[in-house]
Structure 1
Amino acid sequence: MKNIWTIAKREFDNYFNSPIAYVVAFAILFPVGIIFSIIMFSSSQQSSFGGPAPTPDALTNWFVILLIFFSPAVTMRLLSDEARMGTLELLLTAPVRDFELVAGKWLGAFLFILLLILVTLTFPIIMDNFVEPGIDMKVLFSSYVGVILVSAALIGLGVGISAIFTNQFAAFFVTFVLFFFLWILVGVPAGFLEKGGEVFRYLSINTHFFETMNRGTINIGDIVYFLSLTALGLFVGTTAIEIRRWR
């Protein structure tokens, strides 16, 4: 556990020495901030006429969509850059297990995304204090639990793919295609297939976040789905590192 935390801390600190982190932070937080401003304005208008309580689901909805587009930039260099520069071989000779290396990289990236999530949490808090009758706390809780689980899964898959490639741009492209598939493309066959459609529907992020957690419902199946994706990514990453070790 100590090795995992040491690697995670190093990766987390490295993000703030890289322009990519600031670009990703701006690309996610700025649009979410605009959505927040729009919600605040429309909610204040509705509250004057006794309208419904505002919900934070639009904020978390857009956060996840933006995360799908930009999180590959966060994970693309985690292990592919180590392999390209030859530093991965040095890490493999250190007293660190393969899983600890992959888990540490994942945790460092996850903590960076978690920081962005905490920043966006200020928006619904402000909304709750300044807009009557306040926000639905049940939706707020389930939405942010969902965002955290989605982030863990996407970062896990991204780290796994990064361990396979030595080119960070190849890692970015493959990761983005996978995320886009899980978001949109996997849902296309579900709409046309009578048999097997439910399988594709289950694989979709829409089923487990946008249609449930982001609307105030937390199901055990959704939690298992995202934890399974996270574990799959870490397994793929660990296996890829083990293969490199024995080459």
Structure 2
Amino acid sequence: MAEEAHWVPANIDVEVPSAARVYDFLLGGGHNFAADRAVGHKVLEVQPQGRRIAASNRAFLHRAVQYMVDEGITQFLDLGSGIPTAGNVHEIAQKANPDCRVVYVDYDPVAVAHSELLLKDDTRTIVVDADLREPEAVLEAPAVREHLDFSRPIGLLTVAIFHFVADERDPWKILSRYRSALAPGSLVALSHLTADQMPGEMAAVVEAMKRSRDPMYFRTYSEVVAMFEGLELVEPGVVSAPVWRFAWDAEEEPPQDGVYVGVGRKS
């Protein structure tokens, strides 16, 4: 029997797992269904560090948003924002600067529906139902244009999302189109799963995710670096997620967790 909840759209098939809800499960969230948890458990079987990897990626998002606010960014476009969980972009940004405005973009109906409920009293934050793989549809959406001023710097967040875009869709070209729409001084944060450090385990994750509607495409270090073409990389460049702007004891070996991250500035 399908699960029911007040935040689930009537037309959603909860028997079909989605990446957004599997990620919510890995983060310990409560907005996922049996089909999502089945895939999540399969991911944990083949990659026991799955929860730590998800948490590390989420922690990078927090540090990247805080860095952007510290650099004067007051408006954010979050592509593939997923299921809202503790420490959302608008919470981090508006805690640092209450004037920050945020647009979440997702095409998962559960993510959109729950975001709408969460944000119904927040006039500075909205969610747009759109597919990030169609940049023109996102960038020209009236709600996006009304909420964000593209003549001023924007913080573009592409966190844990482009590994769901197949090569034939050309994620590099898609990201380039978003980058071209940004004003000078904008910052782009990106995280991307890789099989470079744990090829066997991560190949098994790809296999597990084939059961969802969002198959995964892990990429190498050089392929991820290429996504920052046209941007000036912020120190320390493209690194493993736990390393980005996080203090490590010089005697310790920074962990490699299968996620490359970075932030680039448009000049």
Higher strand share: 2
* Structure with bigger gyration radius: 1
TM-score, structure 1 length as denominator? 0.28
Higher helix share: 1
TM-score, structure 2 length as denominator? 0.27
